[in-house]
Amino acid sequence: MSEDTWNIGGLELRSRILLGTARYPSTQVLLDALKVSGTELVTVGLRRVSPSANGGENLYTLLQESGYHLLPNTAGCFTAKEAVLTAELGREALGTSLLKLEVIADEETLLPESEELLKAATTLVNAGFTVLPYTNDDPILARKLEDVGCAAVMPLAAPIGSGLGVRNPHNLQLIKERAKVPVIVDAGVGTASDVAVVFELGCDGVLLNSAVARAQDPVRMARAMGAAALAGREAFLAGRMPRKFWAESSTTLAGRISVGARS
């Protein structure tokens, strides 16, 4: 697996796990979980932590000093205008153009607002951002986001924080089959088997937050997620056996002993 690297907007990565940083019981648990997961790229909400905070703990600095690449996100934005302004302030404060773009429709479903998302993505790409948009599992919208210049597409597996796992594997496969940019499944993953499924479908990466942070033991779950990513990716690269309607013995019947045989 050491040679199985991938690239997001010029950033070469070995780990295919991206982790969020919200809702952990403590900063130390967060750091321990990040370490055992093997992640190299972590996302932080630009509205949740002030990059220029005076005094107290600066999460951005702590993560950078720990060797992680930062992926700021626009969580909590409902319009393209809000998302663009948040992204511009984040780039100025953090010095990175890498961005996870979120534009949600409402607080109940937390589903993407497609028209505003596409509008924001177009504006930010033209402004020089490397945009990774959180989107519905809609192959058409994914293609439109790629066409306006997004560096990856990030379709959901299920609603944010639901832990329901991959609800529509067919759509994820459609997105992956047509995409010329990385496909990173974002939102709805609940446990390690969900991560394995994501990679068995051929997706390039998975972004997790609640599944790890809200586990009874976040550090152990983070380790499980990292292992599942490796297993799922290896299975995809190996190529699974074809599915068959009827059983097929793995042992040949040639030369079997016949009870009714006569000398």
Which residues are annotated as catalytic? 100
DSSP 8-state symbol, 64: H
Task: Give which of 262, 198, 202 is closest to 236, Cα–Cα.
Answer: 202
* φ/ψ (deg, to 5) at 62: -60, -45
Contact assessment for residue 201 and residue 190, using Cβ atoms and an 8 Å cutoff: no
- For the residues of 183-249, what is the DSSP string, one character each? BEEES---SHHHHHHHHHTT-SEEEESHHHHTSSSHHHHHHHHHHHHHHHHHHHHH-PPPP-SS---
How many CB atoms within 10 Å of residue 167?
14
